[in-house]
Amino acid sequence: MPSMPKINPTTTKAWQALQLHFEEIKETHLLNLFANDPNRATDFSIEWNDFFVDISKNRINSKTRELLLQLASEVQLEQAISAQFEGETINETENRAVLHTALRDFSNRKPEVVQALEKMKHFSNDIIQGNWKGHTGKPIKTVVNVGIGGSHLGPSMVCDALSHYKTHLEVRFISNIDGDHVSGILNSLDPETTLFIIVSKSFSTQETRTNADTIKKWFLSTADEAAIKQHFVAVSANLEEVQNFGISESHIFPMWDWVGGRFSLWSAVGLSICCAVGYDHFEELLKGAHEMDQHFQSAPFSENIPVALALISVWYNNFFRCETEAVIPYAEALHKLVPYLQQAVMESNGKCVDRNGEAVHYQTGNIVWGATGTNAQHAFFQLLHQGTKLVPTDFICFAEPLQKTGDHHAKLVANCLAQTEALMEGKANTKEPFRHFEGNKPSTTLLIKKLCPKNLGSLLALYEHKLFVQGVVWNIYSYDQWGVELGKQVAGTTLKAIQEENGTLLKNSSTLLIFKKL
Ligand code: F6P
């Protein structure tokens, strides 16, 4: 049985060689790399399904690639990938397997997954076709997903990303505990035609519980308890708590401990997606992700997209010491991709203790940020072009638009390609320093045929695997998130102090002073 290797990357031969190699290459301009290698554009690109991934505009050469691949081999990446897919307990600090990939594995289906998908299919079809009626006999018009973190970001991002495929249902999201936001949404809803999906793996998350209680109270102000069954369903692993809340077992969709919250959109957490775009499109999304899973497992590392992107990211993070990387999708429908990736990447790899329980002495999880192009060009691209920080950037663009609208798509794509070129090439201006562009700013371009459910599934799975590979290299546990617990505990005491108006509960003088100003 393969297990997770526990190798400190800095002790590998490759790491040391990469350090020496970095000294040789760190000042080399990308223009020189292109000048020295006429085949660079072809050699440093990967074509797979509807994806063309151009990595040639990165500050790497064949030696960098060779050493990064050696690093992958020395940290036993292959073994780590097998351990994950074979369901080993690779999330050791929580004693769990990590099998979100099984949710989309159509070649080897887990019976409980098949059953859950069937239930999701019937449920969403009933809602969409108007067979599921509210308590006054009216069909459902609005579906509200109530959840936070992984129980919100994935579904909300996908619903927007696939808005082109949407059904007649309006799908909305409540995540924040901010009462002003919740009441604002409730005021716009008709309780007779609204269905709430309460999504919480633990069913103990303060935000979701509070929001669910408030919503239930609002609903019961115009309906009887008996009506709850027509307007509330839940997605959770905690059956008991959901039932205590008032939702019966038949209205609960399952979650399992082998699916982490931030990787759960492929599970019943994606129920709002099924309602928003129809079950068939959801299944396409799963299939696209599964194809990427197969590519990740089987492609040689030199042609493996998630592995290539992860190793390049390690190169910038640990050798160029870049603190951040940007993601710029040239598709407004992907405007929630970055917040989604922020949870996926930063909750996974924001760790400072390695798999041996030792403090790490190298950088781990990078900061992910970004926004859609072309909007971002008119906001923060100045810093990318002329700032003092090096920000490796992923440009995501689609060859075909979803609908033809004049020459918009040509202009959108032109902007995307032009930015990567301008960042890389720069433009010398010795007379006017403020107009000088040094260039040599790295980027990766992901050109995808079309923003369809299948390609979106592949894209999201690509980023999931990328972050896993990075975690393997950094020798950290990517699948736990203990760092979110302390703030929750402290908030418990702070809430008590506020509700009881008792400042003596607060030990921190600065917090106490703010408390007194409330
Ligand atoms: O606090 C972080 C977290 O545990 C995330 O990992 C998770 O996605 C989110 O909270 C929501 O958790 P739950 O689905 O249990 O409500």
Mind listing the pLDDT tens digit for each residue in 46-90? 999 999 999 999 999 999 999 999 999 999 999 999 999 999 999
CA 140 to CA 169: how far, in whole Å? 8
Q: What does the pLDDT average to over 157-171?
A: 98
Pocket lining: 372 vs ligand 1, CB cutoff 6 Å? no
Q: Does residue 378 have an active-site annotation?
A: yes
- In this prediction, residue 3 carries a pLDDT of 85
* Ligand 1 atom closest to Cα of residue 205: 16
CA–centroid distance, 202 to ligand 1, in Å, is 7
Q: What share of the chain is helix, strand, coil (3-state, %, to 5)?
A: 55, 10, 35
Q: Are 208 and 200 in contact (CB under 8 A)?
A: yes
Provide the pLDDT for residue 1. 77
> Pick the catalytic residue: 347, 454, 464, 465?
347
Compute, in angstroms, the gap from residue 151 CA to the centroid of ligand 1: 7
Atom number, ligand 1, closest to the C-alpha of residue 208: 16
Mean pLDDT of 338-359: 98
Q: Is 59 in the pocket of ligand 1 (CB under 6 A)?
A: no
pLDDT, one tens digit per residue, over 449-508 is: 999 999 999 999 999 999 999 999 999 999 999 999 999 999 999 999 999 999 999 999
> Considering only CA atoms, which residue is closest to atom 8 of ligand 1?
150
Using CA atoms of 499, 504, 509, 515 in order, give the dihedral in degrees to the nearest 10: 20
Distance (Å) from CA 194 to ligand 1 centroid: 25
pLDDT for position 108: 87
Say how many Å lie between the CA of residue 495 and the centre of ligand 1. Answer: 20
Task: Indicate if 488 belongs to the active site.
Answer: yes
Q: How far is the CA of 170 from the centre of ligand 1 (A)?
A: 25
User: What number of helices (H) and strands (E) belong to the chain?
Assistant: 21, 11
**491 in contact with ligand 1, CB cutoff 6 A:** no
Q: How far apart are CA 377 and CA 374, in angstroms?
A: 5
Quote the longest CA-to-CA distance of the chain. Answer: 78
For residue 286, pLDDT beyond 90: yes
Fold of 9-77+305-480: Rossmann fold (3.40.50)
pLDDT score of 401 more than 80: yes
139 within 8 A of 133, measured Cβ to Cβ:
yes
The pairing of beta strand 51-54 with beta strand 443-448: antiparallel
- Residue written as token pair 């992923």: 394
The model's pTM: 0.98
On whether the CB atoms of residues 288 and 456 are closer than 8 A, the answer is: yes
Nearest CA to ligand 1 atom 1: 484
Q: Which of 378, 431, 516, 517 is catalytic?
A: 378
User: Is any atom of ligand 1 closer than 6 Å to the C-beta of 208?
Assistant: yes
Query: Quick one: CA dihedral 161, 81, 361, 263, positive or negative?
Result: positive
The response to whether residue 152 sits with its C-beta less than 6 Å from ligand 1 reads no
Report how far ligand 1's centroid is from the alpha carbon of 31 (Å): 45
- Binding site membership of 202 for ligand 1 (Cβ less than 6 Å): yes
Report the SS3 class of residue 39.
coil
Residue 150 Cβ inside 6 Å of ligand 1? The answer reads yes
* Amino acid letter, residue 97: A
User: Is the Cα dihedral 85, 91, 95, 98 positive or negative?
Assistant: negative
β-strands 324-329, 367-369: how paired?
A: parallel
Which residues, including other chains, have CB under 8 Å from residue 198's CB and lie 6 or more apart? 146, 147, 208, 212, 232, 233, 234, 235, 236, 242, 245, 247
Test site for ligand 1: of 100, 145, 146, 151, most ligand atoms within 8 A of the Cβ: 151
> Are 385 and 34 within 8 A, CB to CB?
no
Is any ligand 1 atom within 6 A of the Cβ of residue 235? Answer: no
Instruction: State if residue 481 touches ligand 1 by the CB under 6 angstroms criterion.
Output: yes
d(CA 266, CA 111): 15
Asked if residue 2 has pLDDT above 90, the reply is: no
Residue 438: the pLDDT is 97
Helices 279-298/453-474 angle, 10° precision? 40
pLDDT tens-digit profile of 197-235?
A: 999 999 999 999 999 999 999 999 999 999 999 999 999
Average pLDDT over residues 332-353: 98
Q: What is the mean pLDDT of residues 352-356?
A: 98
| pLDDT at residue 212, rounded to an integer | 98
Report the 10 Å Cβ neighbour count for 52. 15
Q: Which two tokens stand for residue 158?
A: 């996908």
Question: Counting beta carbons within 10 angstroms of the beta carbon of residue 362, is it exposed (0 to 12), middle (13 to 18) or buried (19 or more)?
Answer: middle
pLDDT for residue 367: 98
Pairing type for strands 170-174 and 142-146 reads parallel
347 catalytic residue (yes or no): yes
Centre of ligand 1 to C-alpha 206, Å, is 10
Which residue is catalytic, options 13, 122, 181, 488?
Answer: 488
> How far apart, in whole angstroms, are the C-alpha atoms of residue 512 and residue 503?
6
Rounded Cα distance between 59 and 491, Å, is 44
How far is residue 353 from each of residues 9, 116, 360, measured CA to CA in Å? 13, 36, 5
Which SS3 state, helix, strand or coil, does residue 465 take? helix
Q: Distance from the CA of 267 to the center of ligand 1, in angstroms?
A: 15
Q: Which of 96, 148, 204, 236 to mutate to test the pocket of ligand 1 (most atoms within 8 A of CB)?
A: 148
**From the alpha carbon of 255, which atom of ligand 1 is closest?**
14
Class of domain 105-283: alpha beta
